[in-house]
Amino acid sequence: MLENIKLDTEYVRSQFPAFDDAVCKDWVFAENAGGSYVPRTVIDRLTHFMKSTKVQPYAEFDMSKMAGENMDRALNYFAKIINAKKNEILIGDSTSNNLYVLSNALGKSIKKGDEIIVTNQDHEANISPWRRLKEKGAIIKEWSFDKKDGELKLDKLKKLLSKKTKIVAVTHCSNIVGSVNNLKLIASIVHKYKAILIGDGVSYAPHGFPDVKELDVDFYTFSLYKTYGPHVALLYGKEKILKKLPNQNHEFLNGMYPYTLNPGGANHEALASLIGIYEYFYKMYDHHFSNTKLGIRKKISKINELISQHEEDIANPILKYIDQRKDLTLIGKNKISNKNRAPTIAFFSKKHSSKKISKIFVKNKIATRNDNFYAWRCLKNLDINPRDGVVRLSFTHYNTIEEVKKIIKVLDKI
């Protein structure tokens, strides 16, 4: 980790108009896992597109040409941010939709008796599409996490894998347990059986954009509205696999991957506004570091380190507090160390409903909620009622220790 440089949260928060907005400014925003605030750079890019280039892109006239150029720039930037090729990523409506379309494409090659492994730790987006392939004759195996600590154990995965395994779908980070799963190691195990690994990075990417080549995942997806952008999602796929997948788009697009997995194409204005995420991280790098010669991916890595250290500093005090309360049950690890979990903190009370605690938080202007957060299988395995669910506090790098202290004071009164 970086020893002498700390994240300048005052500078970071100055980049997000929400913190000065009349509606938002008096609130502690602790529902980031549901969707983050956006920086001014994204808002400016979206406004510019809607004001000046809201036309069909890729024609010869100026407004159209500019629209297409900005859409391409956004794809180029994000490909570099996650260390992919431009033709290995697409922007779709949502992670749920992206994975559903991907399952339709991969499902064409599934035969009766083929095996698919899913976990019960995942958000439903990375479970339902693969379970549906049972209709094609696939055998669905569940990699169930340990109820004692909430962790997915590799020895269980190894017992489930076989020569018939075709797909393994697993979350990079649980949106309930908070644990970061070792996708790189999982990929090395899965690939020994020549199976495809699909990683759900929705709960991981907001805390540091991954290097997909280092992870060696075959597919990886995350929601851009949780990484400081508009409500769209990114899907990455290895080029050698994308080339072979059957077209899910218009007939004339046969062979034109990755558009073959993007029916209807990307939302134009949302795609163009993603340049603003790149600009925000670029500005953040320049504010903290002096070496301007590094490439995009190396700059992202340095910012990732700053973010990780800051998130440890703000999340560990509340993890410790909840863990020490006898009337509260913390789900997952009680300490973040070397990015072994995200600052997404779920808990429940032995005395009060999660709904009641959530209402108390809201009454004190702490934005959070209770729910199963689309991970109802995870809660069922933990013997928690999915209807009442858990209380979830989810932080990101623009949250502060002062906000955490306010949350602890509210919890003290419960």
Write the pLDDT tens digit of every residue in 386-395: 999 999 999 9
Q: What percent of the chain has pLDDT over 90?
A: 99
255 shares its domain with 319: no
On average, the pLDDT of the chain sits at 97
User: What H or E segment, with its residue span, contains residue 116?
Assistant: strand 115-119
Q: Is residue 205 part of a domain?
A: yes
Q: Is the pLDDT reported for residue 13 higher than 60?
A: yes
In terms of residue numbers, what domain contains 202?
Answer: 45-276
Q: Within a domain: residue 4?
A: no
Residue 310, phi-psi category: left (phi > 0), alpha (psi -120 to 50), beta (remainder): alpha
Q: What is the pLDDT of residue 3?
A: 56
Q: Which of 246, 276, 306 is the last residue of a domain?
A: 276
How far apart are the C-alpha atoms of 258 and 248, rounded to whole Å? 10
* Residue 155 covered by a domain: yes
Three-class DSSP category at 289: coil
Number of domains in the chain: 2
Query: What is the arithmetic mean of pLDDT over 236-248?
Result: 97
H runs (alpha helix) in 192-295: 212-215, 239-242, 268-273, 275-288
pLDDT at 2: 52
Q: Evaluate if residue 65 carries a pLDDT over 70.
A: yes
Residue 160 lies in a domain: yes
Does one domain contain both 63 and 34? no
Domain's final residue, options 276, 305, 334: 276
Please state the rounded mean pLDDT for residues 41-70: 98
Same-domain pairing of 255 and 342: no
ω before 258 within 30° of 0 (cis)?
yes
Do residues 53 and 95 both lie within one domain? yes
Query: Residue 1 above 50 pLDDT?
Result: no
Indicate which CATH number applies to the domain containing 221.
3.40.640.10
Residue 382 forms part of a structural domain: yes
Asked whether residue 16 falls in the same domain as residue 68, the answer is no
Residue ending a domain, choose from 276, 308, 343: 276
Pair (69, 218) in one structural domain: yes
Q: Residue 4: pLDDT band by 50, 70, 90 thresholds?
A: confident
Distance CA 229, CA 220 (A): 18
CATH number for 23: 3.90.1150.10
Same domain? For 334 and 247 the reply is: no
- Sequence-distant contacts of 347-351: CB under 8 A, at least 24 apart: 347/322, 347/390, 347/391, 348/384, 348/390, 348/391, 349/391, 349/414, 351/327
Q: At what angle do helices 40-52 and 275-288 cross, to 10 degrees?
A: 150
**Residue 288 included in any domain:** no
